Amino acid sequence: MSAIPEIGPALLRSWPLPRPNGESDKNSRGRVLAVAGGAGSPGAAILTGVAALRAGAGKLQIAAPARVAAPLAIAMPEARVLGVAETDAGDIAAAAADDIAALAARCDAVVAGPGQADEAAAGAVALRLLTLDGPALLLDAAAMTGLAREAEQVRRASNRLVVTPHAGEMAALLGVEIAAVRAEPLVAGRRAAAVLQAVVVMKGAETFVVSPDGAAWRHAFGPPGLGVGGSGDVLAGIIAGLLARGAAPVQAAVWAVFVHAQAGLRLSRRIAPLGFLAREILDEVAPLLGALEAQSAAGSPAAAV
């Protein structure tokens, strides 16, 4: 088997992101809908949404449980926040699926799942989003529950779907023991990508991005400090922002994995290897992307960023 390409500056330099022209405005850089947050974790919507904007998306909408919509709107003045039907526990309800789908149909990319605790409701919303023909779609956390059982419907979104499981979520997705995923994460990633016909980001200290045809890219080292609550929400938001800008699902995932890891390295050096916060990752995203895109546009040699 041929060697798996390493995700790094040289690869990204050869795979430039879509770039806005000098006359572009917020509409031309794409609109993201974040279906995220719950009464117990409204901050997940902020982490995801800010990350999408830091990745260059032009507009952001957030669909959140009605009880947290007003506080989120105050905390996120850059976003349009819409309160949707909620469960008694304060999570987005399955009854909100059609309203969310109507919002999503007018967007370029949708990220669903961060901060949602009700797996049944999040899964129902995800399945409704999969019926849409238009936007790129990223499913994370609770929104991935049950996807393998609905593989035929999931495949309707082939070529525009990304899923971002960690080992535990992958084990649940495939119905296998977590030890099996940890022993062979690439095997698990390829299996899920084939079953779902989706791009899979198999998260871990060593992260793999796998396309539906089994092609894979590897990022060998993730700083241990990235293993902190909310870090995955930031990664999901970066991918969604790049999707909204017009990047292909595999490209968006590869770029986001590298930027996310490099942000962790910067914080490890400046703050400490452990103890930095997910929200601190956000401020690193735009400078890193800017430096990488400048290198890519100039065709400059790979360099540390």
Residue range 29-43, pLDDT digits in tens: 799 999 999 989 999
> In terms of residue numbers, what domain contains 55?
9-15+28-298
Q: Are the C-beta atoms of residues 137 and 159 closer than 8 Å to each other?
A: no
Stretch 228-244: mean pLDDT = 97
pTM: predicted TM-score of the whole model, two decimal places: 0.93
Domain-located, residue 255 = yes
Domain-located, residue 4 = no
The whole-number pLDDT of residue 226 equals 94
pLDDT band, residue 23 (cuts 50/70/90): low
Continuous H helices in 105-166: 119-129, 151-154
Which one has a higher pLDDT value, 260 or 150?
260
Domain-located, residue 21 = no
Closest among 61, 34, 16 to 238, alpha carbons compared: 34
The whole-number pLDDT of residue 71 equals 94
Domain-located, residue 20 = no
CA distance 91 to 157: 25
Mean of pLDDT over the chain: 91
Domain-located, residue 2 = no
Residue 45 has pLDDT above 60, yes or no: yes
pLDDT band, residue 297 (cuts 50/70/90): low
The whole-number pLDDT of residue 304 equals 47
Tokens of 256: 């986001």
Stretch 127-139: mean pLDDT = 92
Tokens of 302: 């790979």
CA distance 107 to 11: 29
Domain-located, residue 170 = yes
Residue 1 has pLDDT above 50, yes or no: no
- Could you please report the per-residue DSSP string of 69-92? HHHHHHH-TTSEEEEE-B-TTSSB
Q: Are the C-beta atoms of residues 73 and 79 closer than 8 Å to each other?
A: yes
Which one has a higher pLDDT value, 184 or 221?
184
User: Percent of the chain scored above 90 by pLDDT?
Assistant: 77
Domain-located, residue 231 = yes
Domain-located, residue 303 = no
Closest among 213, 52, 27, 41 to 114, alpha carbons compared: 41
| Range with lowest mean pLDDT among 31-35, 76-80, 111-115, 220-224 | 220-224
CA distance 157 to 147: 12
Per residue in 176-198, pLDDT (tens digit) is: 999 999 999 999 999 999 999 99
Residue 92: beta bridge partners? 86
Q: Report how many domains make up the chain.
A: 1
| Range with lowest mean pLDDT among 77-81, 172-176, 254-258 | 172-176
pLDDT band, residue 205 (cuts 50/70/90): confident
Give every strand in the sheet of 31-35, ordered side by side.
Answer: 80-84, 59-65, 31-35, 109-112, 136-139, 161-163, 199-202, 207-210, 216-219
Residue 26 has pLDDT above 70, yes or no: no
Check which CATH number belongs to the domain holding 231 and give it: 3.40.1190.20
pLDDT band, residue 295 (cuts 50/70/90): confident
Closest among 155, 62, 150 to 114, alpha carbons compared: 62
Residue 241 has pLDDT above 70, yes or no: yes
User: Percent of the chain scored above 70 by pLDDT?
Assistant: 93
Stretch 170-174: mean pLDDT = 91
CA distance 64 to 162: 21
The whole-number pLDDT of residue 299 equals 60
Q: Are the C-beta atoms of residues 18 and 245 closer than 8 Å to each other?
A: yes
